[in-house]
Structure 1
């Protein structure tokens, strides 16, 4: 390349011949003649070239004039490819080569190279480098991301972030080393598995960021790549952030339970689960009248004792529910011809004779053949046998000794003639007692 003196009327081929002819790399189909161009020292390309007089094939052989600059393009471009590739360096590629051609020319991307974050820096261009997802290009080589290259372009393949972050309801949240073909379940196992409160139906996988500081990231939905059931078990990729959300429901459990206050139970938990989380109903609690209060709905009474006895699961609780276990009024009333008439604490499995014993036993005038037991709306006449007036005493193994329920009223009538005013007074007291011990 350089300046040459040519005879008047010389043509393009004459100018090229004066410069010792084209090189092996010359593209004789891509020649440009500039008017008023200037050749930079040590370079064969026109700098600050003026008007283009000709652009085409050398065989067209137009005339050249004094001051013209002839530029013969190379059939090759020089492109540099660095980073995580097999043979990084600068190479010559045929003009018109694309990104995928350059990556292939250096032997492809290494196993730890990030296909999704390849950068392309244009020669002489200002501003940030272009980011290219080669995975997308490999799926469709005709994609616009597989851009044609120019002389002096630089391609850089970064090292992939070989880590996966696990956050949320796992035993050991943190950042873990990625393994080849790692799946969602593999990641979960590496983090110690899900906690009791994990919602495995709403697992989320975010993609597209370095996870070196993943535990402080604020993940956004535009990076969401998967949401669904853990059983789907998709493969994860280096740099993924796996979020295991909580399925916990907070419920207030108050009243006669072992530990009053707020408890956490899993989504889908029942009244029984919530009471169990609070340590269960205390000895003084009435499990038959547990009250469930929910915002925007009427309170409802639930018989937890019946659920336990019948093996039922009960009503599902929701976030913000309040359960109240009232104090049990577990009493039985013993009246009439006993030494100490009154109310006595009911014990599970209590029978008639035991209730009479708690009241000090029957008097000498008691009529044991007509003992009345009132249970709710029902009444039963019990013949215990024996006659206290004759020195005979009750034998539980021989007499009728039924089991009682809390709220029952036992009346032992006198053996003498019935005093109707006394019976009327007793019934009045009985009704009052029933309203007390059953409310």
Structure 2
């Protein structure tokens, strides 16, 4: 009984152990391509999904790369927790698990988007190819390769597509490489591959029995030979002949024997007896049609920019328009304003077809047998126009325009059209003085100056524009960038267009002038008066008067009153001179100035007018010095008969402020401020002091 119970227990334990081992599988391990989820509450950096890269690593925030491939999920969590333990203190709620099992596979070769792809764990070959954009036309589907580590397995993907049997396909693992080879039929140069046309165009390149078709056909190549195949069948397989084919001179070589075949004659008659018999290895060549040279007494030749240039038979009553229309008309590159008709007698006649279509020209040229019509190409602004435009049809624009150069001229144009064609004047262009050199038709030129600014401002019509013609030269000068640049303009700047400004200004010199500028504009262009300038005695020498004239200007009075009437009228050619202060004795007589001498800070000669007083004159001289004897200032008046002198007590005046006691000052007078040493009181004090010093010395000597 005991043995029976023991035997039953053993069998039970054996059954349990067997069931347990069968039901418990090995735990899954982390592989390349998997998506690992790491979550730690409160830490934003540890709330993300991490990819296992090709090296089997993940990148942990604050830690770096950690190798996890080959670990179980439990080992993965333990390793991550260990690595994060050195950075984070509380990892009680850390959660680490494999969020998604994926495969990292390389798909290379003849696919649309070769490279690495991430696939679900259950993905197969077809899904990997779909991720890479699918196989391209021309791929060799029966010899796909699966490379794993150092081994390579070749499988027939075409057989799977034909049968749907998945046993033809190998299973994928991470880090596998799937390679799709190209078919050897596509050649070394990649072209658009169409398998349906391979048998109809060059399908027998390596077949010695193939029939070769080349020349003026749309798809030349080697075609497989079939019994009873005709030459027309082969031409159809080659895409037919081109429009340039010489169908009357087709060459056929059978068994090394050349023959000519007239396809046009066969098509006209339908006689199958005309078709040559073809053998394997035959060669068919369709030559290019040779154009027949057309000539004769009734021919008219059309050349240049027309759609169908060539020789046309000029029938009776055919006009210029009829022949041009038969040639397809001018192209979009044609210069229809410069059509030339070359008559048989050598005469050349121009014709402006654009003007004819606009009703400006009413007569079309006559065309006869042997004449030629030449339609030239339109001149491109970017090309060297002198190679295409004759000098008697060109106008030259030089200077400050956007695109200077030679331009083709038409009498329908005017100066504004020409400037617009040249891109217009630049910002520094002197548009008030545009120079034109216009031929007079007798071998000479006449020079004309045009003021474009005035023309636009006054709103004149086109009749006020200068009349120019082919051969004209238009020159536009440039203005100086700043006043210091004026000297570089002197060579080209005429004196009658300039203003001269000299003396005490910041930048004296010659300046370009126009009628819109005033005296203050010129003064500002010269950087204004300097601190040494005598703005009360400016001189302007006018050159536009019949006789010499000089205008005086008190600019200081203008600044005090703002009276515009004080400013003189300035024209080109005038000269402005601003003298220096305190230099009047060099250019002014003594009778027109007042001399201030003696104990003043700046003795000298000064200008004086009736509005000034002695106090103004002393202030002009810098005031009296510290040693001045102001109680007896002497004023010497210059009169017609004899000079007279008066004394003035400045100290007394400062106490009473009685202006009535101020002496009258006139031009030519002299004001003398004596030194304190020259006064009688000073001399008396000095004498008394000397006496006391002598007495003291005598007393001292007596005591000794």
Q: TM-score, normalised by structure 1?
A: 0.48
Greater strand percent: which structure? 1
TM-score by length of 2: 0.32
In terms of fraction of residues, the more helix-rich structure is 2
Query: In terms of Rg, which structure is larger?
Result: 2
